[in-house]
A and B are shown apart, each in its own frame.
Chain A
């Protein structure tokens, strides 16, 4: 296996696991808050689920980018493409925007969602407002994903 391919795979791995860390921490924060609220009022489970799941999208963006790299390298069967070292580095760097933007955005979205969950505890009717607040934080993970997709698309193998 060439060094170029190895670097490209490193990029895919970074995108998936760094973004995944962000989501895991984010959902962890939101989930703790949700469980706390449900200890008072278990019937809120249904309306708390979307708020708790919202920081999960960052991990999906990372996974998605990793998958695009896998597709690009032909690792899912068929002819495996052997990129040069430069191309491998290019692919790896292309994965950085989604990885790091998702890491930070996931954690902070978790915090925003956790306080949103406390808000829902007091005002159950306003559940969409904290969702929109969370979406404000998510924007930067979305932009990271966008940059990664466009960069990957631009690299010719």
Chain B
């Protein structure tokens, strides 16, 4: 039905042309390639080596992410901006952009900058080390020690300071405090060589660290003090900072490469995809064999394009063989108006090849159900406007476009059904309201159940079609047809003062179900199994009742909208800022109700399709059609 016909594609070509051909298929974007039974056919499969591409993709991406945009865009504008467009024929040219050099240069600058930061950190550590000794107002070369005297500096605990001083004064040694902090003190000790062991013995009783300026002594030029050293370090630091600034300026100048790199990224991404696709080919010494699928509607176009592309390529397009039935990819093919509803079908799973595409049947129900569940004209208007705005501004493609169009439809649906059964932002348009579900829920309930009954009947009819196509013609007509006769006549028998004709029809339907449900030849088994099948009427009953949720959900949105309005009305009466509070309550409340209501309406309408409608006839399990095509992350390729 609405599943597009697909043709099997077989291509035989010289190995040398393989990559070029796959690249061409990418541009056409209409053919899917499948793996082959290589061993069975004694064909070699080509090995796949993609790490080089992946590495470059990673490096380019890193540069793109770090470069500032040439024209920065903010918030909404950034979100909605369409991708820049490039002609697909430019792909080769873009690869010659010299991206390797750009990326390597940028990475070199980055590495330099990292090194400089490292240096600055090192300098800061040194400063930290020297700062406590700043009070040491003597040229450092005087601290190297004397002929007979030892000179040591140490970091000790503040609380031990007095103790150390006391013990050292008993010896022929001098101790002076350079500086003291909250917990630590820095001391300078001078003692005679011969006392080395005694002094060390004293120190070993405390927690301490020697401070050695050894490494500086060799660098000394004259009478530098600690303060001079610190000044030097400060200079080095600011020089490094300047260099970093310079480097960053250079790095920013790379921003001109940003858009070309974005294009190169996508080209490389497609090169990688191309290799992956080409590796599906079966190879002999000189030739390559590709197999896959093409939509039948594109078959002639493909044949024509391929013959124009090269004379050396043999292309065969044929109907799929019965044994290939399970591998056929499924393409849903619906009229433009119905297409957005494919979103719902796809969520459940694509139909099996040769099965029924339910999209066109569920579309009107889904449209009406979401309208009835939300039944808010104002919210519908908001949804329709927002989705239209997004569609116009961002020009999304593929799934996003379908989903947004679906939202637009559902907005329209709410504008219709909101006017008829609800209101606009909680205010009903009285002359246009058919049924007010708050005052008068019963007619609304009947409407919901009637719609449900129609959809359940439709699903029974579709299951009849399915059985019939499978060749079970008798079961299809007697049993499924039996239900189709039984249920409506039973319903109207009770609704319309029990006319005998409808009673007879009910019995005829029941007879079909009783006598043809079981395939058994034993007449009793057949009869009793048939009676049991008749018990299935409870399923039809409960499925139909399940549609009563349309009333409950429709009521919910309407009442909450009313509550929001009455709260806003109460707030309006506050002195001074009442109007502001009222506006905030109105906007916030309706936004919340829209979000929750839409979620509920969407999910429950979907459930009605998946559980109550699909249950009788629909079989998912089809594989999606995945053509070899140009993919994009940053840019868009155009023909």
Contacts and interface: CB of A to CB of B under 8 A. Distances in A.
Contact of B606 (A54, A61, A67, A132): A132
B505 interface: no
Contact of A153 (B441, B599, B600, B603): B441
A85 interface: no
B501 to A, nearest CB: 33
A57 interface: yes
B549 interface: yes
B584 interface: no
B555 interface: yes
Interface stretch (A7-15, A87-95, A135-143): A135-143
Contacts of B551: 146, 149
Given A54-B603, A60-B596, A67 B347 contact: no
Interface in B531-558: 546, 548-549, 551-553, 555-556
A31 interface: no
A139 B556 contact: no
A142 B549 contact: yes
A64 B596 contact: no
B566, B600, B604, most chain A CB atoms within 10 A:
B600
Contact of B559 (A54, A67, A139): A67
Interface string B84-104: 000000000000000000000
Given A131-B603, A139-B546, A142-B553, A64 B441 contact: no
Contacts of B606: 128, 131-132, 135
A31 to B, nearest CB: 16
Interface in B582-639: 595-596, 599-600, 603-604, 606-607, 610-611
A135 B441 contact: no
B563 interface: yes
B560 interface: yes
A129 B556 contact: no
Contact of B347 (A56, A60, A128, A146): A128
A74 interface: no
A155 interface: no
Interface in B236-294: none
Categorize the interface residue count of chain B: 20 to 34
Contacts of A145: 552, 555-556
A143 B549 CA distance: 7
Contacts of B607: 132, 135-136, 139
A143 B445 CA distance: 12
Contacts of A131: 603, 606
A36 interface: no
A111 to B, nearest CB: 17
Contacts of A42: none
Given A61-B556, A67-B559, A142-B549, A56 B596 contact: yes
Q: Is the interface of A mostly helix, strand, loop or mixed?
A: helix
A80 to B, nearest CB: 16
A149 B441 contact: yes
Contact of A60 (B548, B560, B611): B560
A119 interface: no
Contacts of B347: 128-129
A56 B566 CA distance: 22
Contact of A64 (B549, B555, B599, B610): B555
B572 to A, nearest CB: 14
Contacts of A128: 347, 606
Contacts of B604: 135, 138, 142
Contacts of A68: 438, 559
A131 B348 CA distance: 12
Nearest to A150: B441
A56 B596 CA distance: 8
A54 B556 contact: no
Contacts of A60: 556, 560, 596
A53 B559 contact: no
A76 interface: yes
Contact of A50 (B438, B566, B599, B611): B599
B359 to A, nearest CB: 16
A134 interface: yes
Nearest to B440: A153
A146 B603 contact: no
A63 B441 CA distance: 18
Contacts of B603: 54, 131-132, 134-135
B343 to A, nearest CB: 9
Interface string A113-154: 000000000000000110110111011001101100110010
B556 A64 contact: yes
B28 to A, nearest CB: 26
A60 B607 CA distance: 20
Contacts of B442: 150, 153
B552 A146 contact: yes
Contact of B611 (A56, A136, A138, A149): A136
Contacts of B610: 132
A146 B548 contact: yes
Interface in B298-354: 347
Nearest to B551: A146
A25 B27 CA distance: 53
Contacts of A54: 599, 603
A149 B607 CA distance: 22
A138 B606 CA distance: 13
A126 B604 CA distance: 17
Contacts of A150: 441-442, 445
Contacts of A63: 560
A67 B564 CA distance: 12
A64 B559 contact: yes
Interface of A: 50, 53-54, 56-57, 60-61, 63-64, 67-68, 76, 128-129, 131-132, 134-136, 138-139, 142-143, 145-146, 149-150, 153
Interface of B: 347, 438, 441-442, 445, 546, 548-549, 551-553, 555-556, 559-560, 563, 566, 595-596, 599-600, 603-604, 606-607, 610-611
Nearest 3 CB-CB pairings of A with B: A135-B607, A146-B552, A142-B549
Given A132-B610, A149-B441, 17 more contacts: A54-B603, A57-B600, A60-B596, A63-B560, A68-B559, A128-B347, A131-B606, A135-B603, A136-B607, A139-B546, A142-B553, A143-B548, A145-B556, A146-B548, A146-B549, A146-B551, A146-B552
24 contacts: A50-B599, A53-B595, A53-B599, A54-B599, A54-B603, A60-B556, A60-B560, A61-B552, A64-B555, A64-B556, A67-B563, A68-B438, A68-B559, A128-B347, A129-B347, A131-B606, A132-B610, A134-B603, A135-B603, A135-B606, A142-B552, A146-B445, A146-B549, A149-B551
